Amino acid sequence: MKLLPKNKLVPIISSWAQRYTVLAPSSTEQGECVFDIFKEETFTLEYRKPSLPPKSQLLPQSDVIFRVEKGTFREVLPERNVLMFGIRSCDLMGLRQSSSFMSRDTQDIYYRRRSDHCLKVVMACAGPQNETCFCTTSRSGPSATTGFDLQFYDLGDSFLVESGSTEGDELLKAGNLADVDDKDTVEQVNALRNKAVAAITEVPDVTRAMEILSSRGASEELWERFGDKCIVCGGCVYVCPTCTCFTVADFPSGPDTGERIRSWDTCLYGGFTKEASGHNPRSTQGLRLKRRHEHKLLYYNQTDVQEALCGCVGCGRCSDYCPVHIGTLEVVKAIVEEQS
Amino acid sequence: MERIASICPFCGCGCQFSLVTENNRVIGVEPSPNNPVNKGMLCTKGWNSYGFVHAPDRLTVPLVRKDGELVESSWDEALDLVSSRLTEIGKNHGPGSLAFLSSAKVSNEENYLFMKMARAVFKTNNVDHCARL
Amino acid sequence: MTNSIGEFEDADLFLITGTNTTAQHPLIGSRIINAKERGAQILLIDPREIQLAHFAVLHLKQNIGTDVAVLNGMMNIIIEEELYDKEFVEKRTEGFDALKALVSRYTPKIVQLISGINATDLERAARMYAQAPKAMILYAMGITQHTTGTDNVKSCANLAMLTGHLGKPSSGVNPLRGQNNVQGACDMGGLPVVYTGYQRVNDPAVKKKFEEAWGVSDLDDKPGLTITTMMEAAQRGDLKALYVMGENPLMSDPDTTHVELALSNLDFLVVQDIFLSETARLADVVLPAACFAEKEGTYTNTERKVQLSRKAISPPGLARSDWEIVVDICRRCGYDMNYKTIAAILSEINKVTPSYAGITYDRLRTSYGIQWPCPNEEHPGTVFLHKDQFTKGLGTFLPCEFKPPAEVPDSEYDFILTTGRVYYQYHTGTMTRRIEILEREAPEALLEINPDDARRLGIKNNDMVEVASRRGSVRLKAEVTPRVPRRVLFSTFHFSEAQINTLTNPAHDPVAGIPEYKGCAVNVRRCE
């Protein structure tokens, strides 16, 4: 571990920005915080999880994967190495699960290419970021155990910085920082972690709902009730750190030129499963919601879950951003209530 | 990737999102978490609204009809033709022979200048748009 | 809207009519669903079984085009049972006696005959609306797109004034605007009768003000032509040239066969657009424009809120912002325009438009928008309208008699066709049909037909059918669904392969000029 005084933070990020495109929390003129290209004047540490998880960096909402120009095929490669500063441990778990999924049966080379060129600097949480955080239940936070290049712990006027990779070690060389690998530091980190764990509410409904889904299941009526009010925006999927479904389409611009683009898709749209005959095996919005939530809480392949509880990392975004309150928290609550 | 504040081009709710760009290309949207209209949410059209921006058949060059066909032209040629023909028709048949359809899809400033053009330059109140449609 | 979107959270009752809100204004629709969960009541008046019908405590399915009768009927019950807001009527309105006299003829029985709504349901609806502490009326084009559109709107306003559901938080009359800047286009004077901020062209003081501001003399002081009358004038040969910016009238206007004739009859047609639309194909000059992502500008949403949208990327090829093109044309015509930025144009708008005076570029840059009226830079903007008084002082009741639609079914055209939109497509589809995922969800025009009618005519789901009106015919696939009542067909105008506006009736409201898209007489048969 290294100790980084807070007044050295901007200089060290600036030095990283020479070599990487640094994405960091930035405040806009409207006073909103987005993860954007690092600039000293807009950089801020007063931030919450952005509405989009960092998967949007590795699996962009739309991505030209290759171009055909006058009959010649040309792959489109990401141009620069990226460093994401200040992501949260739940989101890192999302990246770890997605990365595992995207390389499980075959390598998704487009994802892999962006992923290989992306450094992850985690900011450990000192407590919940909002009312919907449940990382301690889903075992994805409040700090990360592995998978990061660097992890920052906020001590007030300085940061303790933990390296998780050789790239991380490399990043720290820039700062000429003091080593603090003594027993006190370990205890300090543990104390911070314990304090954060205590501050984040456990949601036992999640594990109870998982048990119910794996035994009796929830009633059809419950899913249809959610289905009746779903406005089919797809937002829960788009903001989910572990949703990776995409669709691929070709856009010809001439007889021998064009692009192939892949873009985010969602299992909540009817067309996602509609067959060529016109038949749709998931014929109602209720069935589509059932599948999505069972995927997260029941079916998600064990090899992809890492040490987390399930395919949900507890970031709470689906509950924050569902226009009609059909997030994971509301769904697990309804499942448990129905059974009791 | 960069993020620039924008307003959804579809319905009248006026949801705010950042356009996410990479290499002068819009690659997605990120809903504004704090704008009171949408509070981090969007509908399906909003989430996918970036999708037509780079459509391969966007108009990129002015077109002028010659011998019955629309053919590519320079801006100078196209704009000279528009201004001279409108002026000429207005002169020969009166301002009432000209009409201007403004748009519910362009900005306030553009609507303002368009109606100013109709009224101040061509002296007609024949200005409307598809509010009713 | 007289209210704001934020006020949905406190309303006790929503009277929703002629808006499929979850499909067309989804983030307003979702607030209604949430409101229902916290105990608010939803009163739906709509011929179709839209998503909100699931949440309505009462769903009145009126015969198409009978809105005035239904609203008059509700007012009659409210007056009869003395449920109206006497204090509000006395202090803030005029013309109550005339209203009372007129609506007294709309007894529940008569309204049932006209609208098909049963008398008990109407009574229940009237009482619910009148007795709710805070009630909002929401409507969209299901109210306006009728030959009686103006009467429908007046009747909504009458009902709100009668019950005092106006000029208070979470109480008001809320037309939902369909396009992202339709409010702004109206506010900016994109209308034949007004300059910006609804300043009338035939008011000599206004004329003089704009002549001074713009440095010109002899501004036209007679109201101009509306879209529909423009097309008629073009067909007669009176209109010689048309300049269209970002519109596609060939797809969006009623009776497209005649629109095409009208456009072809012009000496000169200019179309400025981002795509070669159906209309652009007929043009003499096509000017390539930048889309929303490629320029800066402000837009006014349905709650009168002006918001700033930034430029994210540069336009493709030689395309330019609409405003830059207009500036260039004006200069070529010898009129000096020197705007370099959006801020400069907005600053001029601030000067000539009292309701926009305080909505400056710098304020918009650092805020989430400002709602007009906003008379000066210190003013916070106006959340809801008509607080202590109406713009003109007292609110006048404008009672209206019921008039049937211009075209009603007969033996030859025995169905009524009503048109609208689907969730996944937008307007004439120029933008959304190029978005792969939206196109996958709604790739083609469908004709909704009730199962009873379908059975009688031997029509099954996905059969090709031909729909014909007095103006033309269209082939499209049938969707057999109880969403529509018997003898009513529904389809959309998004798809150029099945141009539904070939069928629609150009008959329009005499005041607003809005065509009767919501009802025309057609027949339907299965294609062999």
Angle at C150 between CA C148 and CA C155, to 5 degrees: 95
Per-residue pLDDT at B133 exceeds 70: no
**Mean pLDDT for each consecutive 10-residue tract of chain C (528 residues)?**
91 96 95 95 97 97 97 98 97 96 97 97 98 96 93 96 94 92 95 96 97 96 93 95 93 85 96 95 98 98 96 97 97 94 98 97 96 95 86 92 96 96 90 93 96 97 96 96 97 92 91 90 95
Q: Do B108 and C289 lie within an 8 Å CB cutoff? A: no
Chains that touch A (3 or more CB pairs under 8 A): B, C
Within 10 angstroms of residue C222's Cβ, the number of other Cβ atoms is: 11
Do residues A140 and A279 both lie within one domain? Answer: no
Answer whether A28 touches B (CB < 8 Å).
yes
Q: Do B28 and A62 lie within an 8 Å CB cutoff? A: yes
- Strand segments (E) across chain A: 2-5, 21-27, 33-37, 62-69, 72-75, 82-87, 118-123, 150-154, 158-163, 178-179, 246-254, 257-264
The tens digit of pLDDT for each residue in B38-73 reads 999 999 999 999 999 999 999 999 999 999 999 999
Q: Which of A247, A278, A324 sits opposite C34 (nearest CB)?
A: A324
Q: Do B106 and C310 lie within an 8 Å CB cutoff? A: no
The contacts of residue B61 (CB under 8 Å, 6+ apart) are B72, B73, C288, C317, C318
CA distance C327 to chain B (A): 8
Q: Do B20 and A79 lie within an 8 Å CB cutoff? A: no
For chain A, state the CA radius of gyration. Answer: 21
Residue of A95, A97, A85, A79 whose CA lies nearest to A33: A85
CA distance A328 to chain B (A): 16
Residue of A143, A174, A119 whose CA lies nearest to A151: A143
CA distance B27 to chain C (A): 11
Cα–Cα distance between A250 and A121 in angstroms, integer? 35
Cβ-Cβ contacts under 8 Å, C223 against chain B: 125
Please list the ranges in chain A whose pLDDT falls under 50: none
Do residues A302 and A185 both lie within one domain? Answer: no
- Over pLDDT 90: what percentage of chain B? 94
Q: Which amino acid is located at A131 in the chain?
A: E
Nearest CA in chain B to A251: B56
- Phi and psi at residue A27, to the nearest 5°: -100, 140
pLDDT at B132: 67
Q: Which amino acid is located at A277 in the chain?
A: S
Q: Which of A34, A60, A232 sits opposite B27 (nearest CB)?
A: A60
Cβ-Cβ contacts under 8 Å, A270 against chain C: 441
Cβ-Cβ contacts under 8 Å, B21 against chain A: none
Domain edge (last residue) among A169, A200, A231 = A200
Cα–Cα distance between C435 and B45 in angstroms, integer? 9
Answer whether C205 touches A (CB < 8 Å).
no
Q: Which of B34, B39, B56 sits opposite A251 (nearest CB)?
A: B56
Cβ-Cβ contacts under 8 Å, A263 against chain B: 51
pTM greater than the 0.90 cutoff: yes
pLDDT at C47: 97
pLDDT at C420: 93
Residue of C356, C348, C357, C354 whose CA lies nearest to C304: C356
Nearest CA in chain A to C367: A30
Answer whether A44 touches B (CB < 8 Å).
no
Do residues A214 and A296 both lie within one domain? Answer: yes
CATH number of C182-371: 3.40.50.740
Do residues A224 and A174 both lie within one domain? Answer: no
CA distance B95 to chain C (A): 9
For residue C275, give the 3-state DSSP assignment: strand
Cβ-Cβ contacts under 8 Å, A278 against chain C: 462
Q: Number of folded domains in chain A?
A: 2
Q: Do C192 and B128 lie within an 8 Å CB cutoff? A: yes
What residue segments make up the domains of chain B, in order of their start? 2-52, 59-93, 94-133
Q: Would you tell me which residues 11-40 of chain B have a C-beta closer than 8 angstroms to some C-beta of chain C?
A: 11-16, 19, 21, 24-26, 32, 34-38
Q: Would you tell me which residues 133-172 of chain A have a C-beta closer than 8 angstroms to some C-beta of chain C?
A: none
Q: Which of B7, B38, B64 sits opposite C27 (nearest CB)?
A: B38
- Phi and psi at residue B72, to the nearest 5°: -65, 145
- Greatest Cα pair distance, chain C, in angstroms, is 68
Cα–Cα distance between C32 and C27 in angstroms, integer? 9
- Which domain covers residue A252, as residue numbers? 205-339
Chains that touch B (3 or more CB pairs under 8 A): A, C
Do residues A267 and A127 both lie within one domain? Answer: no
Cα–Cα distance between C252 and C419 in angstroms, integer? 11
Contact present, C356 and C187 (Cβ < 8 Å): yes
The tens digit of pLDDT for each residue in C451-461 reads 999 999 999 99
Q: Do B132 and C513 lie within an 8 Å CB cutoff? A: yes
Chains that touch C (3 or more CB pairs under 8 A): A, B
Chain centre distance of CA B130: 13
- 3-state SS, C319-348, equals CECHHHHHHHHHHHCCCCCCCCCHHHHHHH
Answer whether C271 touches B (CB < 8 Å).
no
Answer whether A269 touches C (CB < 8 Å).
yes
Strand partners of residue A121? A85, A150
Cα–Cα distance between B2 and B20 in angstroms, integer? 6
Within 10 angstroms of residue C270's Cβ, the number of other Cβ atoms is: 24
Q: Would you tell me which residues 261-300 of chain A have a C-beta closer than 8 angstroms to some C-beta of chain B?
A: 263-264, 269
Chain centre distance of CA C148: 14
Q: Which of B11, B50, B65 sits opposite C284 (nearest CB)?
A: B65
For residue C75, give the 3-state DSSP assignment: helix
Answer whether B91 touches C (CB < 8 Å).
no
Q: Which residues of C134-171 are buried (b: 16+ CB within 10 A; e: fewer)?
A: bbbbbbbbbbbbbbbbbbbbbbbbbbbbbbbbbbbebb
Nearest CA in chain A to B37: A323
Residue of B11, A33, B37 whose CA lies nearest to C6: B37
CA distance B71 to chain C (A): 9
pLDDT at C85: 97
Do residues A157 and A241 both lie within one domain? Answer: no
Cβ-Cβ contacts under 8 Å, A229 against chain C: 33, 54-55
Do residues A164 and A285 both lie within one domain? Answer: no
CA distance A198 to chain C (A): 32
CA distance B24 to chain A (A): 13
Cα–Cα distance between B1 and B20 in angstroms, integer? 6
Q: Do B110 and C27 lie within an 8 Å CB cutoff? A: no
What residue segments make up the domains of chain C, in order of their start? 5-176, 182-371, 415-526
Q: Do A30 and B18 lie within an 8 Å CB cutoff? A: no
Q: Which of A28, A29, A261 is most worth mutating to test chain C (most C CB atoms within 10 A of its CB)? A: A29
Answer whether A252 touches C (CB < 8 Å).
no
Pairing of β C135-139 and β A2-5: unpaired
B2-52 fold:
N-terminal domain of TfIIb (2.20.25)
ipTM of the complex: 0.97
- Phi and psi at residue A128, to the nearest 5°: -70, 145
Cβ-Cβ contacts under 8 Å, A27 against chain B: none
Domain edge (last residue) among A141, A174, A200 = A200
Q: Do A269 and C437 lie within an 8 Å CB cutoff? A: yes
Q: Under CATH, to which class is C5-176 assigned?
A: alpha beta
Tokens found for residue C192: 């034949």
A/B interface, count of CB pairs below 8 Å: 88
The architecture that CATH gives domain C415-526 is Beta Barrel (2.40)
Q: Which of B24, B27, B50, B60 is most worth mutating to test chain A (most A CB atoms within 10 A of its CB)? A: B27
pLDDT at C79: 98
Q: Do C441 and A270 lie within an 8 Å CB cutoff? A: yes
For chain C, state the CA radius of gyration. Answer: 24
CA distance B78 to chain C (A): 7
Contact present, C202 and C211 (Cβ < 8 Å): no
CA distance B71 to chain A (A): 17
Answer whether C289 touches B (CB < 8 Å).
yes
Answer whether C203 touches B (CB < 8 Å).
no
Q: Do A324 and C368 lie within an 8 Å CB cutoff? A: no
Residue of C471, C480, C483 whose CA lies nearest to C515: C471
